[in-house]
Chain A
Amino acid sequence: MNKIAFTTSGKDFAAQMDPRFGRAANFLIYDIEHNSLQIMDNKEGRDASQGAGIQAAETVVRAGVDTLVTGHCGPKAFKVLDASGVAVYNCTAATVEEALAGLLAGTLQPASASDVEGHW
């Protein structure tokens, strides 16, 4: 675990988690090693007519992320993330801060398959 992506509607650790993955507003990417933070707009995912999850998965994989924390991840996105070696964690935390705390404390379980149908 080195580079972690969170789906969020805001731009910092205090921001709300966005439970969607494919059509999430932003990805907040936290680099543990360098203790740095990066915000990526998920414009391509939101604008995709179909396959938003796949588009979003491409975006985070290209950003070098190895861990994803989100609300729900559909089957197609999961397939891409899994094939690219990204660990997926689903959580119900309200904010990014809470989600990160949960992840570091080891209370989040890694998903072994997608938890929702597509088009979520």
Chain B
Amino acid sequence: MKKDTIRELVVLSGKGGTGKTSITASFAVLAEHAVLADCDVDAADLHLLLTPHVEQRHDFFSGREAIIDPLECTGCGLCLDVCRFDALRTNGTDYWVDPVGCEGCGVCVRFCAAKAIDFPERQCGEWMQSTTRCGPMVHAHLGVAAENSGKLVATVREQALKLAVDRQFPLIISDGPPGIGCPVIASLSGVSLALVITEPSLSGLHDLQRVLALARHFSVPTVVCVNKWNINPRLAERIEAAALSAGAAITGRIRYDRAVTQAQLQRKAVVEMDAAVADDIRLVWQQISQML
């Protein structure tokens, strides 16, 4: 399989909790020969439904962090003056860097007269290559309070693409992060199709518009699906109208159904359950797979 014939679908939501991961897991079951990528590295949940068997683990490094060597530090306090991120701490005599606040800019390292500040690479998490009942999967785990999930998302996508090339899989399905910030940009750029799962609430509508603006910015074809539409049918209609006028296509609706939670509890994808909502998802997948 050549790289440029591989298609990539990313499932986004803008707002969190719209059912993105449950729907992605269902697509994973329905798609034949797809590589799965969990790009929601901040709160990765796809593995809870697909119970992967981990084959490889790799440490993930991103950026650097400043660390003061107390033996070399002369206590001049210059680092405190040059840091713009409020990351330097002192009790009057000793100085240290708060790792959570450190931006990794290296300014204190460069200007420390005693050369007492180390600047090692920062380990921010790990990524894994696994097998699941639906095919190979690349997923990751970001360290607590760690930064730069954008680069980790890029790593997950890159590894998923490599797997697709090696194993001759024509499709990558990725579970994207919520929001519109750096991890979303990293998961969205250059994909073949973005599916935005939203819900009929004012927050859902508002966040949808922001994520659609982002998709337009990156010229990614986008389709929208309203999940739990029957919670507020009028708003569901309004959301679909807004999506259409923003240049996105509409692809089916998915009803509110407790079977979604039941599926989670049984560690299954919704389409592996006997429920009406499973049929809704199958219809959506039919339309999506034709667009890919």
Contacts and interface: CB of A to CB of B under 8 A. Distances in A.
A50 B186 CA distance: 10
Contacts of B189: 117-120
B151 A50 contact: yes
B90 interface: no
A120 B150 contact: no
Interface string B1-43: 0111000000000000000000000000000000000000000
B198 to A, nearest CB: 23
Contacts of B218: 117, 119
Contacts of A49: 62-63, 148, 150-151, 154
Interface in B186-203: 186, 188-190
Interface string B215-257: 0011100000000000000000000000000000000000000
A99 B3 CA distance: 18
Interface in B68-93: none
Nearest to A19: B4
Given A19-B4, A49-B63, A120 B151 contact: no
With a 10 A CB-CB cut-off, give which of A9, A49, A117, A119 has the most chain B CB atoms.
A49
A79 to B, nearest CB: 18
Interface in A5-25: 9, 16, 19, 23
A57 B224 CA distance: 37
Q: Which of A9, A16, A118, A119 has the most CB of B within 10 A?
A: A119
Interface residues of B, number: 19
Contacts of B154: 23, 49
B137 interface: no
Contacts of B4: 19
Contacts of A119: 185-186, 188-190, 218
A26 B211 CA distance: 34
A4 to B, nearest CB: 22
Contacts of B219: 117
Interface string B166-189: 000000000000000010011011
A119 B210 CA distance: 18
B217 A117 contact: yes
Interface string B132-166: 00000000000000001011001000100000000
B190 A120 contact: yes
Given A23-B154, A119-B185, 12 more contacts: A9-B3, A16-B2, A19-B3, A23-B158, A49-B63, A50-B151, A117-B189, A117-B217, A117-B218, A118-B189, A119-B188, A120-B190
